[in-house]
Each structure stands twice: as structure tokens, then as C-alpha cells.
Amino acid sequence: MSRLAVLLVATFLLSLRAAAEPTLTITCEDPQGLRYDYGPPPGSWYSDEVNPRLQKSDDGFTDVKPLFVLDSRDTSLLTVIFGSTQLVPRYAPTRAREARLVQSTADYLVAIEVGEESIWVHTFYPKLGVAFFSRNILQHPRPHLGNAVAALYFAKCTFTPGSTE
């Protein structure tokens, strides 16, 4: 990348930073929870036998410290950074996503994130210092056979009003 391109990108990012001030930053520990899968058993996705079943398992994230930022630019959107804090070079970097804040009181905040592969509901309880995250996915290993997944995670969180600096 040329020096001019780097300078333009840096200027753009600094202008965004100047335009928006964080009004709330939420930092969470590694989420842990339960996962439910409904579909064919693993290993049978590509066979002709269709025998779906419900499976329950422990689920969670390691080296993932979810970060959520509500800023003054648009208080109906929550910036979501939910990815590894220790990236292995072969993996793509974590991208920031957006969730729509649908409810906000002094006791809780609820945001919904609709993505290409899943729907997340992020529920925060600032007075308790915790959050719940639910995720729903329909995985398609074959065109005529899907695997429905629902997961619920829990994490302790720190809620910091104002600037992150």
C-alpha cells in the first residue's frame, strides 16, 4: 500500500474517532454455555440416511473477550467485536459488527445482531455485571438437509460509561 493510501486511511479513521465518543463500553470474559443441535448426527451429513436428532453439549469460547461499544454517533447501534484475542496468522482478523439496540433501561440493555450465518441476541445487565448471549443458526451441509443450532452463553462483564481512554 502506498504512503498516500495509508495516510488517507489514517485520516479517515481519525475523523471517525473524533466524530463519535463512546457513551458505554462493555468488556466481557470468555462466554461459556450450552449448545443444542438438531439435525443428522455428525458424520452422516453426506449419507442418504436422514435421521435428525436433538443433541445437547457444553459450548463456549476461549481467548475471546467480547467488546461492545455504544457511541454518540448513533445510540441505536452497538458495535460488536466478538472474536479471538490471540489470532493465529492463518485466520482472518476479527471484524467489527453492528447490533441494533432494541431495549435500554437502567437495569438491562438488549441488542439484536442479524448476520449472514446467524442471529445473535445480546442481553446485558449492568447492575449485575453480567451478560447473556444467544445465537441461532441454520447450517446447510447439503441443499436438502439442514442442522438447526441454538446456543446460550453467559459471561461476567465490566461496564464503563464514557470514553475508553
For residues 147 and 136, is the Cβ–Cβ distance under 8 A?
A: no
Element (H, E) at 34: strand 32-39
| Integer Cα distance of 139 and 128 in angstroms | 34
Q: What is the pLDDT of residue 47?
A: 60
What are the tens digits of pLDDT across the range 124-152? 999 999 999 999 988 765 555 668 899 99
What are the tens digits of pLDDT across the range 35-46? 998 887 666 655
Tell which CATH classification among 1.20.1070, 1.20.120, 2.40.128, 1.10.3470 matches the domain 22-161: 2.40.128
Structural domain boundaries of the chain? 22-161
| Integer Cα distance of 50 and 26 in angstroms | 43
* pLDDT, the chain, mean: 79
Q: Distances from the Cα of 94 to the Cαs of 67, 82, 91, 144, in angstroms?
A: 11, 7, 9, 31
pTM of the model: 0.76
